[in-house]
Homo-oligomer: A and B are copies of this chain.
Amino acid sequence: MIELFYWPTIQGRGELIRLALEDSATPYVDVARGPGGISAMQAAMSAEHGKADALPFAPPFIRDGDVQLAHTALVLHYLGARIGLAPDDERGRMHAHQLQLSITDFHSEIHDTHHPLGSSLYYEDQKSEALARTKVFVRDRIPKFLGYFEREVLRGGEATLLGRHSYVDLSLFQTVEGLRYAFPRATAAIEPKLPAVMALHDRVASRPNVAAYLRSERRRPFSEQGIFRRYPELDVVP
């Protein structure tokens, strides 16, 4: 049984792992959502699980028996072939992981649109800087990242990044969902230029386990916490 440790009330980075576990119908426990779960997560952050693992720098992390792993992309790299969401040869695993690491970078930049001066400050203390960063992000970075993925989906074929369904497709789906929530005007403007990414998004949304998860209460709504946030003043036109 996989144990997932992540903040219980938000999607955040943990959502990419939740989507992989849900799509593949992998049994898991979302530890911090259980009684005493946040305390358990915090204890796990600072206690040694096994000499063979580094301590987590931050959630999300998982435990699978005596294995403990942190960093979203590494967790997905580990789970990938084990849950049927990546090739099992080294070459195919690296292909998926490389793409996922660009998702990581993209999400980090998305987060920093609302926290350009630092995640330890409130949004309200960096609103003008957030607007400045968002304008640059919408103009330069959304087209660069999504244009990159458009090309890779075209290379993969069949509305997939790898030529077969994978955890990276699930993460790209979530990225589109989040951008539509956080930057509805900029996202609507660019979608017509990204037919392959949008076909991938729609294919993922129609997968039965994904659709069931999105309807369930396990899927927390987007909010003004986490990576993707809707602040009307940041919904700029590119």
Contact = CB atoms under 8 A, between A and B. Distances in A.
Interface of A: 48, 51-55, 57, 67, 69-71, 73-74, 77-78, 91-92, 94-95, 97-99, 101-102, 105, 108, 112, 116-118, 120-121, 126, 129, 132-133, 136-137, 140-141, 145, 148, 151-152, 155, 161
A213 B120 CA distance: 38
Contacts of A95: 52-54
B136 A117 contact: yes
24 contacts: A51-B155, A52-B91, A52-B95, A53-B91, A53-B95, A54-B95, A54-B98, A54-B99, A55-B152, A71-B101, A71-B102, A73-B101, A74-B97, A74-B98, A78-B94, A105-B108, A112-B112, A116-B133, A117-B132, A117-B133, A118-B133, A118-B140, A118-B141, A120-B140
A98 B70 contact: yes
How many copies the complex holds: the figure is: 2
B57 A74 contact: no
Nearest to A52: B91
Chain A binding site: helix, strand, loop or mixed by DSSP? Answer: helix
B52 A92 contact: yes
Contacts of A78: 94
A97 B76 CA distance: 13
A155 to B, nearest CB: 7
A140 to B, nearest CB: 5
A10 B145 CA distance: 24
Contacts of A77: 97
B136 A120 contact: yes
A145 B57 CA distance: 8
